[in-house]
Structures are given as structure tokens and as C-alpha cells.
Amino acid sequence: MATAQFLCNSSYQPSFKRKNPRNFSQNSSFSSFSRHGYCNFNRNLRFHTAPFVRAMASDSKLGTKQIEIVYDPDERINRLADEVDNTSGLSRLTLFSPCKINVFLRITSKREDGFHDLASLFHVISLGDKIKFSLSPSKDKDSLSTNAPGVPLDERNLIIKALNLYRKRTGSNQFFWIHLDKSVPTGAGLGGGSSNAATALWAANQFSGGLASEKELQEWSGEIGSDVPFFFSHGAAYCTGRGEVVKDVVPIPKEIPMVLIKPQQACPTGEVYKHLCMDQTSKVEPLSLLEKISENGISQDICINDLEPPAFQVLPSLKKLKQRILAAGRGQYDAVFMSGSGSTIVGIGSPDPPQFVYDDEEYQNIFWSAHFLTRGENQWYAEPSSTLPTETE
């Protein structure tokens, strides 16, 4: 009687593995300089399957003979994956979405449309979010998820607004799965949401093969928010108008460290502007501040923020925090100031907070050590390896 027996590797567990010589792993990022910029994305995934499936046959009447057929699914699946790699475009993309600080912020006038004209030195810093984009089979909806509670996941989110704007402007029909890994605090005056929007526009343009120029992306982005166009600078810019008029300037050396201290309370931007009195703003010419920074670097007298007095009215504890940092710093910082409309206080010159931040229960919050950041020509901002949030105990 003939019998047949099938043997296979019982320890089989599917996992992602890259065959040599490409040596790609599940958590790796593949870096590429595409025609329109730098990107990190995961592709060319491989399944590591059972090393063999063996079939054996024997016949007891005729004497034992064995016929062995060896099937290697690894080879077949990887060959199919190679075919997909050769025919498909970009399908996944992970980008760093950095925030900014305002080294100085002058409010120069109130406009007839209710907005205010400003003049400010914006600079990107090394604190940021990470956003993962994947092409979706949907033809009518993006899907957004996040690790941060309270962040809207619908059209109120600036990421979704940016993707809708890109499709409107270019005619693209691509929709996405997006995961926002949030590190930048909200209500902080750091432009985290604006950065997310700019990053989404850049990503959509990468997936489409570059339907828009970078200048077009910058111009369109002003429809989303006043701070969004800045992120299409190289990382340091003198911004005027509502913030949408962007002029690149020489960046501040990234070796200069800073610490950002964000109280638990947020500063609603609308409330801050409601308390703004134009006759109480600084009279210093903004361009003179820019000139002094380029000649002598950052100092306390240069880091003027006209939104500090109204923000301190809205949140009196914020004024107390700044005063304590200045007193406890004892020359530790070149300058201490509020960024944007608050509520983050920035200390330039040291990556460490004053000791009271560790000792006082009132200030048991999260702070970050950071540095200035720029981007290269036709590249998006690269994620630094050393900027990590620190929580006091």
C-alpha cells in the first residue's frame, strides 16, 4: 500500500524580513533622494516563511522508496515582492514634523480685517512630531489616527485640511491612512499644527510625483493658516504680514542649546489677542532686532514678544514662571522669553531647566531640550536623534 506523508516546519511564524543583500528590517526606514526631495519610507517588505515544505511518498509492497519534493515559499514570495517593487510607486512615507519658536515677535498694527500685522524671526527647532502616511484604497476619505487624546481626527485637523487642499489644487485623487505620533504640545505657541499641515502638503506632493512646485505649496499653504508657509522656508525666516510673507534669513547656529518649559495650562490665542493693547507694544524697529542677532547673537534685550503682556493677563502663572526662570538661571540663559502666543517659555543657552522645575510640585511638568534646525535644498526636515521629552519626577 502506498502512503504519503507531508512534513513542514512546525515553528512557522510569519514575520517581515528583508532578504540579503538589501538587509531591510521591519522597523527600518529606507532613505532616498527622489526628484522632489528627501523622504523616509518603508517598502520592499519580505515575508520570512517556513524554510521548507517537504512531501515524501513510500510503497510497502515494492520496497520503500522515497520521492522528496522541496518547496521554498520564501523564494516565491520574495520574487513576487520584487515584481511589486518594480511596478509600484511610493506607497508609504514617514516624515518628521518639527515645531518653531519666535525668537522675537513684534505686533506692528491691527488690520481692517481684524487680524494683526506682525514682524517676527521664526526658527525651526529639533522638537517635532512624526507622521506616517500610507496610500489608502479609499477614493473619498482620508483616515487619521493619533497617540494624543483630544486631537480632532476629522476635517478640523490641519493635516486633513492640507490633503483636501492639495487634491483641490492639483486634481490628485489619492487618499491616505495617516498616523500622527504627537510630541509637540498643543496650546504652546510652537506651531505644531501648522507644521503638521505643511508636512502633509509635502507628503502628498511626494506621493503624486511632484505635481506642484515648492513655491506653489508655500503659496497654497497660507489658506490653511498664517504660520504654515514658514515651514517651507529652509528653517529660519523673517516673517511679516499675518506671518505668511516669508523671507529666508541666515539661520542661528544649531549648536546653541535651549530648553522649553510648557506649563499644564494652555494659552488660547484668541484670548491673548483680545487682551492686546497696541499702545503697550514695543516701539523697537523689527529689522534692527534682526540685524543685532546677525551681528551679536541672541540676548535678552533682543527677544521681545509683544504678546507676553496680554498672555500674562490671561495666564498670570505664566508670568510667575518666566520670573522664576530668570531669577534661578543666574546667567545660565542668554535669553528667556515666551514663544508665540504661549504658553511655552524658552531658555536659550542651556539645555537644562532650573533646579526648581525638578523640586517644585507646581512645575512638575514636561520640558524639552532642543536646538535650532534647518533643512537642505529640496529636502524635508530630518529627525534629530537626540531630542527627547523629559518628565520631572
Instruction: Tell me: pLDDT of 154 over 50.
Output: yes
Identify the residue whose cell numbers are 506523508: 5
Predicted local distance difference test score (pLDDT) of residue 13: 41
Predicted local distance difference test score (pLDDT) of residue 62: 52
Could you tell me the CA-to-CA distances from 194 to 101, 199, 203, 363 in Å, in that order?
12, 9, 14, 27
Predicted local distance difference test score (pLDDT) of residue 5: 45
Across the range 88-103, mean pLDDT stands at: 92
Residue-wise pLDDT tens digits, 40-78: 444 343 434 444 444 455 555 555 555 455 545 556 545
Across the range 2-11, mean pLDDT stands at: 44
Residue-wise pLDDT tens digits, 338-391: 999 999 999 999 999 999 998 888 776 679 999 999 999 999 999 998 544 444
For 172, the 3-state DSSP assignment is coil
Predicted local distance difference test score (pLDDT) of residue 362: 77
Under the banding of pLDDT at 50, 70 and 90, the label for residue 37 is very low
Residue-wise pLDDT tens digits, 264-316: 888 899 999 999 999 999 999 999 999 999 999 999 999 999 999 999 999 99
Q: How far apart are CA 164 and CA 168, in angstroms?
A: 6
Instruction: Tell me: pLDDT of 25 over 50.
Output: no
Predicted local distance difference test score (pLDDT) of residue 190: 97
Predicted local distance difference test score (pLDDT) of residue 255: 94
* Residue of 129, 227, 306, 334 marked catalytic: 227
Give all domains of the chain, ordered by start, each with its CATH number. Answer: 92-371 (3.30.230.10)
Grid cell listed for 218: 508655500
For residue 314, the surrounding DSSP H or E stretch is helix 308-314
Residue-wise pLDDT tens digits, 197-240: 999 999 999 999 999 999 999 999 999 999 999 999 999 999 99
Residue-wise pLDDT tens digits, 318-337: 999 999 999 998 889 999 99
227 assigned to active site: yes
For 260, the 3-state DSSP assignment is strand
Residue-wise pLDDT tens digits, 103-132: 999 999 999 988 999 999 999 999 999 999
Instruction: Tell me: pLDDT of 84 over 50.
Output: no
Report the alpha-carbon angle 332-337-343, nearest 5. Answer: 120
